[in-house]
Amino acid sequence: MARQLGLRMVMEDEFHTLWWVPESAPLDDVRAYLRGLDRAERALEENLSKYLHLWKIAVPPEFETTHPWDFSRFTRGERFVYAPVPRAEFDDTLAQVKRWGLDQHLREFSFDKLAYRAPA
C-alpha cells in the first residue's frame, strides 16, 4: 500500500515470528493448525497471483475508497516456515531480549521447555 501511495520506505526487512502454544493445547489440534498453515504456504508458493486479490480483506475500511489499489502489485506478505527454531537462533533472540531489558516479562528461559515440538 505504501509503495502505491508513493511513500518512501524507511524500514523494511524480514523477521521470524515465534508462536506461543500453551502446554494445555491438545497436540492433535496444534498439529492440524500447523498442517493447515503449511498447506496454505505451499499454495502461495505454487500460484501467488491466484491469492493476491485476498489482500482486499486486509485493507482497513478507511482506505478502501481512498486509492484504486492494484493488488497484483502487492507482495506475498508473511511466510510460514514449518521448521523448529535452531538453538543458535533461540540463543541469539534471547540475548537480544535481555539486551533490550525485555527479559523481565519472561517466566521461562529454557530452550527445552520453550521449544514445542508438533511433528506433522
What is the band of 110 on the pLDDT scale with cuts at 50, 70, 90? Answer: confident
Angle at 40 between CA 52 and CA 45, to 5 degrees: 65
Dihedral of the alpha carbons of 86, 90, 92, 95, in degrees to the nearest 10 = -170
Joined together, the cell numbers standing for residue 36 give: 493447515
The pLDDT value recorded for residue 27 is 87
List, as one string, the DSSP characters of 19-70: PP--TTS-HHHHHHHHHHHHHHHHHHHH-GGGTGGGGGGGS-GGGTTTS---
Measured distance CA(104)–CA(120) in Å, rounded: 34
pLDDT (average), residues 83-92 = 88
The pLDDT value recorded for residue 119 is 60
How large a percentage of the chain has pLDDT more than 90?
A: 36
Give the pLDDT confidence of 5-64 residue by residue, as tens digits: 888 888 777 777 777 788 788 989 988 999 999 999 999 999 999 999 999 998 988 888
Place of cell 498439529: 31
Q: Bigger pLDDT: 115 or 32?
A: 32
The pLDDT value recorded for residue 64 is 84
pTM of the predicted protein model: 0.71
pLDDT averaged over every residue in the chain: 86
Measured distance CA(41)–CA(3) in Å, rounded: 24
